Amino acid sequence: MYPGRFEYQAPTTLEEALATLDRYGDEGKVLAGGQSLLPLMKLRFASPRALVDINRVAGLDRLAEEDGELRIGALVRHRDCERSELLGGRWGVLADAAPQISDPIVRNLGTVAGSLAHADPQGDWGSALLAADARVVAASAGGRREIPLDELLLGPFTTALEPNEIITEVRVPDPGARAAGTYLKLERRVGDFATVAVAVHVSFADGTVSRAGIALTAVGPRNLRATDAEAALAGAPLDDEAIREAARLAAGAAEPRDDVRGSADYKRNVVRVFVERGLRMAARPEERGDVPRAAAAPPGRPEPSEEFAGEETAEDVMKEIREKEDQ
């Protein structure tokens, strides 16, 4: 397979890139990592007249913390996020999402900003960054504007970006001194899209939740925010009861559909279990294990235990199932 014919432009400055894109109007596409765009072009789902390759534009590969904010440039690859010291701790939701995106080879090229511009409802960054309350800087020949992620993502593969705009940077606000989160993803195998994934990002102040971000992957026409669950958590202590109620509300916010990866009911249940797990990890970050490498264990068939007993591993779940079978 190969793409249809197109014109190729490789500008070396942002100004030149924006002018070029402006010239092509809606017939041009930005090429960053290309890990979603090129497969679409090979399958002829996309046939742009021109590609504007921004890989030779200097200065877009910056990943840095500035004034407490995290700034992710247009050419920052998933791999860069996976290896950055900046993303752990308070931005645990981003650190846990990065190594679960596609596979290690794709992560060498694919970009965070490109993933947002692609707006796949099964995309991982959309949820992780929604939970973290991120916004993007969109530049065009006419100027630049900031778009909150909630307003950027409109529907499947549809964003609020104009055809002549490039996301130059993703900005993630300072979550405060005490914050924790995670990204839990259920996938059939490495490199598959999520069956369901959940992003959780919680800021604390004076022993209560000052802000909770919860977003859901692959259970709706776009990455969804579980706004009722977020509102229920704000201002209260993150105790077992609050966690269970938030998980119930988040499951209600999901709009899953039956498909080859699972039934709608199953996916809704995974949302509930993952939100519960994610919030418990946020409540006690010191007890969490290595999320991506242990892989988020599929929800066990038995009801989740009422009492949280530290990190739940796949072995724990299997043991629990066997014990129930023995009874």
Partner 1 sequence: MSATVSGETAETTHAITVTLNRQERSAEVEPRLLLVHFLRGTLGLTGTHVGCDTTSCGACTVLLDGKPIKSCTFLAVQADGREVTTVEGLVRDGGLHPIQEGFKEEHGLQCGFCTPGMMLTATALLAENPNPSEEEIRWALSGNVCRCTGYQNIVKAVQWAAAKMAEEGR
> 35 or 217: whose CB is closer to partner 1?
35
Position among 86, 106, 160, 264 found at the interface with partner 1 (CB under 8 A): 106
Residue type, 230: E
Q: In whole angstroms, how close is the CB of 146 to partner 1 at the nearest point?
A: 30
DSSP SS3 for 200: strand
* Among the listed residues 63, 41, 170, the one whose alpha carbon sits nearest the alpha carbon of residue 117: 170
Question: Radius of gyration over alpha carbons of the chain, in Å?
Answer: 20
The reply on whether position 100 binds partner 1 by CB under 8 A is no
Q: Does 26 bind partner 1 (CB under 8 A)?
A: no
**8 contributes a contact to partner 1 by CB under 8 A:** yes
Candidate residues 103, 258, 259, 323; the one interacting with partner 1 per rule CB under 8 A: 103
Quote the least distance from Cβ 132 to partner 1, whole Å. Answer: 25
List residues bridging with 9 in a β-sheet: 52
Q: DSSP secondary structure string, 63-77?
A: EEEETTEEEEETT-B
Dihedral sign for Cα 63, 132, 110, 84, please.
Answer: positive
Cβ of residue 102: shortest distance to partner 1, in angstroms?
Answer: 8
In the list 14, 22, 46, 55, the residue contacting partner 1 (rule: CB under 8 A) is 55
Distance (Å, rounded) from C-alpha 124 to C-alpha 101? 7
The CB-of-324 to partner 1 minimum distance in angstroms stands at 30
Q: Closer to partner 1 at the Cβ: 86 or 295? A: 295
CB of 30 to partner 1, least distance (A): 13
d(CA 245, CA 233): 9
Number of residues this chain uses to bind partner 1 (CB under 8 A)? 31
When binding is defined by CB under 8 A, the residue of 293, 303, 306, 307 that contacts partner 1 is: 293
Report if residue 46 touches partner 1, rule: CB under 8 A.
Answer: no
CB 178 within 8 A of CB 207: no
User: Which region among 31-39, 137-145, 245-253, 265-273 touches partner 1 (by CB under 8 A)?
Assistant: 31-39
Interface segment toward partner 1; rule CB under 8 A; list 101-109, 125-133, 176-184, 226-234: 101-109
Give the interface segment with partner 1, choosing from 6-14, 263-271, 302-310, 313-321 (CB under 8 A): 6-14
Distance of CA 314 to the CA centre of its chain: 23
Residue environment code for 36-72, b if the CB has 16+ CB neighbours within 10 A, otherwise e: bbbebbeeeebebebbbbbbebeebeebeeeeeebbb
- Token pair for residue 238? 């993150």
The string of DSSP letters for 124-144 reads: HHHHHHHHTT-EEEEEETTEE
Our CB check for partner 1 shows the closer of 12 and 305 to be 12
How far, in Å, CA of 127 to CA of 97, rounded? 9
Residues 125-164 close enough to bind partner 1 by CB under 8 A: none
Residues in contact with partner 1 by the rule CB under 8 A: 1-8, 10, 31, 34-35, 38-39, 42-43, 49, 51, 53, 55, 79, 102-106, 108-109, 190-191, 293
